[in-house]
């Protein structure tokens, strides 16, 4: 009450125009892209909330750093600057740059995971799951039960179910090459993991002598939630908290496109020098020499600076507040969302909003299409189109939840953009009863949501 707004802790230095396509243009774009939002041209979108990955704005200091980029093939000073920042933050001795997060995953699992293995995580992100499965291993999700209940308000819904982790290690310990925890838990609504939970994972991994890695893409947002929600951390800096998180793990994979505040990049960092040697051998095969790993020297500079800026308290306060602000607005209008909002996105519960559309007609996809149709707002479907499993008899096992993710790029949109998005969401919700489902006309054998062609099912109750 009476508190002043939490403002953007920056001012605009360069602007980039966004498009305002008319309703006719949007309708035509939907038809042309076969109702798949990945098929739109970005100029056909007004506010693009498809992802928070690589879509943020860099700071003047990052751009200045890019001018210092040294493009030497081997031994670039930009690499050593990057390495120093990553070591200082994570404490891990071995730092391996990659072109993005999934490349770090691919290399790590190529070294550690094999056919018949089981990789445990709170929730695997889709590229992480795909890279585990590509090795012939099982990707097992063990998020605590409260993490699967969208409406339940709890501070750390990304936590690992420690009892389930213990049972998995007890039953399959010799087949589990590593345990991962994703901070924040993207596939589970961007929910944070508490320090107490990370400590418990560490302890169980020690008992069974299994390495523990963080999928650290959104480590700074996670650190902020620990600071503001977990007892004993209010007076610690985000950096100290992040350092403590990393100190509990043996290594991490990282997409610098999120909390690296960069447009491209990632890394793998770890303490085991023997595993690191094997990883570097693969790195040379697919990414590049170990002092650039698929990145330009200027990218390494941008990431090094981004990893420092992302831990700024004013930034993190604004960042989490801007997501919460959108969540509050749509929730106040009666739109069901995953509660509490995560660190990088608002997840709208399409299953609850469009109960008449059955999972095999993809309610979350319908809702995502309507957000675009209504106001040129592009989110992403995280429901049965992305995660449903087609069966041989032509039926499908639906996803656990039918969600549309509205991911907020970092430092990119202003409060009025967010107000606009909230109005679009509320206008669509007001006509939820007349929204129909979709059927797939054409699909790829895996990761079908990226390229599937769809068409509307004739409108009418249940169809
Ligand atoms: N792990 C998590 C938790 C992620 O969210 C992502 C990417 C990755 C790994 C892979 O990183 O894209 O650099 O290869 N998430 C993006 C998203 C694509 O939209 O959530 P990447």
Query: Could you read off the pLDDT of 109-118 as tens digits, one per residue?
Result: 999 999 999 9
Peptide bond into 340 cis (omega under 30): yes
Residue 182 beta carbon below 6 angstroms from any ligand 1 atom = yes
Same domain, 93 and 40: no
Pocket residue to mutate for ligand 1, from 52, 99, 101, most atoms within 8 A of Cβ: 101
| Cα(285)–Cα(280) distance, integer angstroms | 9
222 and 233 in a single domain? The answer is yes
The finding on whether 266 has its CB within 6 A of some atom of ligand 1 is yes
Question: How many whole angstroms from 255 Cα to the centroid of ligand 1?
Answer: 6
Q: What is the mean pLDDT of residues 68-84?
A: 97
What distance in Å separates the CA atoms of residue 241 and residue 252, rounded to the nearest whole number?
Answer: 16
Domain presence at residue 17: no
Assess whether the C-beta atom of 33 lies below 6 angstroms from ligand 1.
no
Number of domains forming the structure of the chain? 2
Instruction: Check if 215 has its Cβ closer than 6 Å to any atom of ligand 1.
Output: yes
Question: Is 462 a residue whose pLDDT tops 70?
Answer: no
Helix (H) / strand (E) element for 96: namely: strand 94-98
Residue 363 has pLDDT above 50, yes or no: yes
**% of the chain beyond a pLDDT of 70:** 98
Beta-bridge partner residues of 396: 390
Q: Whose CA is nearest to atom 15 of ligand 1?
A: 53
Do 102 and 240 lie in one domain? The reply is yes
Decide if pLDDT at 460 tops 50. Answer: no
Which is more confident, 401 or 232? 232
Q: Are residues 305 and 316 in the same domain?
A: no
Average pLDDT over residues 279-297: 97
Distance 234 CA to ligand 1 centre (A): 29
Mark whether 124 and 162 lie in a shared domain.
yes
| Residue 296 and residue 377 share a domain | no
Domain for residue 87, yes or no?
A: yes
Q: Is residue 183 assigned to a domain?
A: yes
Residue 344 lies in a domain: yes
Confidence bin at 229 (pLDDT 50/70/90): very high
3-state secondary structure of 129: helix
Going by their DSSP bridges, the two strands 212-215 and 138-141 should be labelled as: unpaired
Residue at 65 is within a domain: yes
DSSP 458: P
Q: Is 402 in the pocket of ligand 1 (CB under 6 A)?
A: no
The answer to whether residues 185 and 316 belong to one domain is: no
Centre of ligand 1 to C-alpha 127, Å, is 7
Tell me, in angstroms, the distance from the centre of ligand 1 to residue 262's CA.
13
Residue that terminates a domain, selected from 280, 309, 338: 309
DSSP state of 5: P
Least Cα distance to 275 among 213, 218, 182, 215 occurs for 213
**CA 266 / ligand 1 centre spacing (Å):** 10
Q: Mean pLDDT lowest for which of 123-127, 246-250, 300-304?
A: 123-127
With the most atoms of ligand 1 within 8 angstroms of its CB, the residue from 186, 265, 346, 406 to mutate is 186
Ligand 1 and 102: CB distance under 6 A: yes
Question: Does a structural domain hold residue 259?
Answer: yes
Are 349 and 240 part of one and the same domain?
no
Same domain, 302 and 429: no
Least confident span in 24-38, 121-135, 363-377, 448-462: 448-462
403 inside domain? yes
**Alpha helical stretches, state H, 272-414:** 273-286, 297-309, 313-332, 350-353, 363-375, 384-387
Helix (H, G, I), strand (E, B) or coil at 403: strand
Q: What is the CATH number of the domain that holds 37?
A: 3.90.1150.10
Taking the CA of residue 100 as reference, the ligand 1 atom at the shortest distance is 13
Are both 261 and 346 inside the same structural domain?
Answer: no
Residue nearest to atom 8 of ligand 1 (CA): 101
Is 303 in the same domain as 377?
A: no
For residue 51, the ligand 1 atom closest to its alpha carbon is 19
What is the distance between the alpha carbons of residues 363 and 436, in angstroms, rounded to a whole number?
8
Question: Does 452 sit behind a cis peptide bond, omega within 30 degrees of 0 on the bond before it?
Answer: no
| Range of the structural domain that residue 158 is part of | 60-309
**What is the gyration radius of the CA atoms in the chain, in angstroms?**
22
What is the model's pLDDT at position 1?
56
CATH number for the domain spanning 264: value is: 3.40.640.10
Residue pair 181/222 in contact by the 8 Å Cβ criterion: no
| Closest residue by Cα to residue 411 from 58, 68, 161, 118 | 58
Q: Which two tokens stand for residue 280?
A: 């570097």
Is residue 186 within 6 Å of ligand 1 at its C-beta?
yes
Domain end residue (candidates: 266, 283, 309): 309
Please check the confidence at residue 429 and state whether its pLDDT lies above 80: yes
The Cα 347–Cα 322 span in angstroms is: 14
Evaluate whether residue 93 is within a structural domain: yes
- Tell me the C-alpha distance between 204 and 208, whole Å: 6
Q: pTM for this one?
A: 0.96
What's the gap between Cα 136 and its chain centre? 24
Distance CA 135, CA 116 (A): 9
Task: Give CA separation, 8 vs 11, 79, 206, 282, 319, in Å.
Answer: 7, 31, 42, 42, 8
Question: Do 64 and 48 fall within a single domain?
Answer: no
Q: Give distance in angstroms: CA of 217 to centre of ligand 1.
A: 7
Q: Of 309, 341, 365, which residue is a domain's last? A: 309
CA proximity to 37, closest of 350, 455, 451, 457: 451
Q: What is the mean pLDDT of residues 161-183?
A: 97
Q: Which of 114, 121, 134 is nearest to 168 (CA)?
A: 121
Are 279 and 111 in contact by the 8 Å Cβ rule? The answer is yes
Q: What is the mean pLDDT of residues 188-207?
A: 96
β-pair partners for 321? none
User: Taking 60 as the threshold, does the pLDDT of residue 463 lie above it?
Assistant: no
Q: Tell me how far apart the alpha carbons of residues 125 and 257 are, in angstroms, rounded to a whole number.
A: 15
């Amino acid at each position: 009450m009476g508190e002043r707004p939490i403002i953007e802790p920056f001012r605009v230095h360069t602007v980039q125009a966004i498009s305002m396509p008319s309703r006719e243009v949007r309708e035509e774009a939907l038809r042309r892209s076969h109702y798949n939002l990945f098929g739109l041209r970005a100029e056909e979108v007004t506010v693009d909330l498809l992802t928070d990955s690589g879509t943020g704005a860099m700071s003047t200091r990052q751009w200045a750093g890019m001018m210092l980029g040294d493009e030497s093939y081997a031994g670039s000073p930009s690499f050593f600057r990057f390495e120093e920042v990553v070591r200082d933050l994570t404490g891990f001795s071995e730092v391996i740059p990659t072109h993005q997060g999934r490349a770090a995953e691919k290399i790590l699992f190529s070294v550690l995971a094999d056919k018949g293995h089981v990789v445990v995580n709170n929730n695997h992100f889709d590229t992480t799951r795909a890279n585990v499965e590509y090795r012939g291993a099982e990707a097992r999700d063990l998020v605590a039960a409260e993490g699967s209940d969208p409406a339940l308000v709890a501070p750390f819904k990304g936590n690992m179910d420690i009892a389930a982790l213990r049972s998995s290690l007890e039953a399959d310990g010799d087949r589990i090459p590593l345990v991962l925890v994703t901070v924040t838990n993207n596939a589970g609504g961007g929910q944070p993991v508490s320090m107490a939970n990370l400590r418990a994972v560490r302890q169980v991994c020690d008992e069974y002598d299994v390495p523990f890695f963080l999928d650290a893409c959104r480590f700074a947002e996670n650190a902020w939630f620990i600071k503001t929600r977990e007892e004993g951390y209010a007076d610690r800096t985000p950096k100290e908290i992040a350092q403590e998180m990393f100190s509990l793990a043996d290594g991490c994979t990282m997409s610098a496109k999120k909390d690296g505040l960069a447009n491209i990049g990632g890394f793998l960092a770890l303490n085991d020098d023997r595993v690191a040697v094997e990883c570097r051998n693969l790195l040379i095969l697919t990414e590049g020499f170990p002092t650039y790993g698929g990145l330009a020297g200027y990218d390494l500079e941008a990431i090094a600076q981004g990893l420092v800026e992302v831990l700024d308290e004013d930034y993190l306060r604004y960042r989490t507040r801007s997501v919460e602000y959108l969540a509050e607005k749509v929730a106040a209008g009666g739109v069901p969302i995953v509660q509490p909002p995560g660190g990088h996105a608002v997840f709208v519960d399409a299953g609850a909003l469009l109960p008449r559309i059955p999972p095999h007609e993809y309610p979350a996809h319908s809702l995502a299409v309507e957000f675009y149709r209504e106001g040129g707002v592009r989110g992403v479907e995280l429901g049965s189109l992305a995660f449903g499993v087609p069966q041989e008899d032509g039926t499908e096992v639906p996803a656990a939840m039918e969600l549309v993710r509205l991911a907020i790029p970092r430092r990119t949109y202003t409060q009025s953009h967010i107000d606009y998005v909230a109005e679009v969401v509320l206008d669509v919700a007001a006509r939820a009863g007349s929204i129909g489902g979709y059927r797939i006309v054409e699909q790829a054998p895996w990761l079908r949501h990226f390229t599937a062609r769809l068409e509307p099912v004739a409108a009418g109750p249940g169809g």
